[in-house]
Amino acid sequence: MTDKRKRGGTKGGKWAVCPFPGSAMASAVAIITCWAFAGSAVAQTAEIARRTAQQEKLEKAARAIGSDMTQLQQRLVTTAKQIRNQEQVATDHETQLETLRVEQHALTAGFDRRQGELSEMLGVLTRVSQRPPALLMVEPDGVRQQLRGTMLLGAMIRMLEQDAAELRAELAALDRLRTTIVSKQDALQKLLPELHAEKQRLTALLAEKDKQRAHLSASAKAEAQEIAQLAAQARDTRDLLSKLRERHSQFAALPMPQPKPQPQPQPLRLADGLPGAAAPVPEVKPTLAALHPPRISSRRFSESRGQILQPVIGRIAEFFGGKDGAGGTLHGIRIISRSNAEVVAPFDGKLAFAGRFGDYGELLILEVGDGYHILLSGMSHIYGETGQNVIAGEPIGRMGTEAGTADVKEAASQQKRNALYVEFRKDGEPFNPAPWIASRKIEVSG
């Protein structure tokens, strides 16, 4: 005999039915069992709701972090642009000061030379004027010598007057030059605090960026470690680029992961036919792609000849194809910069490598698509990390901190230390970067 009772809640608008035998003991057991199943269903349903809410919260956080990273990149680019503008003005002032000092040196040398010539002429005039006229009268040809001396004296006086006028003009020019030098120095000294303030603002933004990147998944660190191992095995930059391209090809050959549909709660069927709780929804954490979406440039690098941003403010001192100082040939260019100059990404791309590498020291390899890579070395500090996506103008490093010096040889040595080495490569082969860099940003030294 089967007794049907209404127990628990409803499911689909119908009352759940608990079958049980007619005996009192069996009835009690069945009632307790129904209550237990009903309680379990309620608990699992609550767990599903909790995990679903947590998943939505994580996905929302991932989108927010991605949006914050994008906005932060734009702020970094804006701040770096202001710094580069000030660095350009400061560099112009320093170049003009250097030119003015050379002119001052030349004028001073000319002034000293004319002073020496004037002293000699005055000495001759003094000796001539000290000869007594009576002595000239008793000497043979004395009258003729006196006439000749008088004519020579007149010519020398005119030369002295001309030299004196030229000396006065040179003194006035030298005085104006010194005034200009002082003015340029004052302008430079006023600019440097502004530049320092902008750099402090940039440092704060970079710290904020590091904090945002701390939320990224561990896969970013795993990728950086794997690439660091490749760098340790590479013989040179050509070998390193080959390994990076091979790794990129392996990943490109893999099928793109398709987003899985969100699992829907499916009711479990109990052994006795009772409806149970839905299967719990797996907890989903924000992915690396969601937190740090890949940067895809709206431009193709191959179509951007003459439009690439110069990575550091300065002048090209050594050119592609020239001597590298070690008996070899330069595969890139060297740009002389100011102390502490900011280095920015020349183009949108991904940092395929960021770290120390052999004789290059701190090396950045920027992958910009279509088999093109940009190599940068000579920095004292790198901001970027392997695997990071950057946009054109975003700060990725900083040059050295050597101070200026009046000694020419020491200045040349410091310039070499403050030189950014730039290589452009296509499928591993170097080509001349100079025609690709925006000309308005280049100050070429002869």
DSSP string, 392-413: TT-EEEE---PPP-S-HHHHHH
Pairing state of beta strands 333-337 and 419-426?
antiparallel
Whole-angstrom Cα Rg for the chain: 41
Beta bridge partners of 375: 365, 423
What sign does the CA torsion over 307, 310, 313, 314 have?
Answer: negative
Model confidence, pTM: 0.56
pLDDT in tens, the chain (446 residues): 444 444 444 444 444 444 444 556 666 656 666 665 556 555 556 655 665 665 566 556 556 666 666 777 788 888 888 888 888 888 887 787 788 778 777 777 777 777 777 777 677 667 666 656 555 555 555 556 555 666 666 676 777 777 777 777 877 877 787 787 777 777 767 776 777 777 777 777 777 777 766 655 555 556 666 667 767 767 677 777 776 767 666 555 544 444 444 444 444 343 344 344 333 433 434 333 333 444 445 689 999 999 999 999 988 999 999 888 778 889 999 999 988 888 999 999 999 998 888 888 889 999 999 999 999 999 998 987 888 888 899 889 989 875 444 343 444 444 445 899 999 999 989 999 999 998 754 444 44
- Three-state SS at 356: strand
* Those residues with Cβ within 8 angstroms of residue 256's Cβ, 6 or more apart along the chain or in another chain: none
CA angle 429, 433, 435 (to 5 degrees): 130
Instruction: Check: CB of residue 240 under 8 Å from CB of residue 230.
Output: yes
What the chain holds in terms of domains, given with CATH numbers, is 1-215 (no CATH), 301-444 (2.70.70.10)
Which phi and psi (to 5°) does residue 343 adopt?
A: -105, 130
Query: Considering only CA atoms, which of 414, 184, 429 is closest in space to residue 317?
Result: 414
The residues that bridge with 334 in the sheet, in sequence order, are 318, 421
Main-chain dihedrals φ then ψ at residue 131, nearest 5 degrees: -80, 125
Tell me which H or E stretch contains 228.
helix 219-233
Cα-Cα end-to-end distance for the chain: 108
Do residues 381 and 398 lie in contact, with contact meaning Cβ atoms separated by under 8 Å?
yes
Tokens of 70: 């994008």
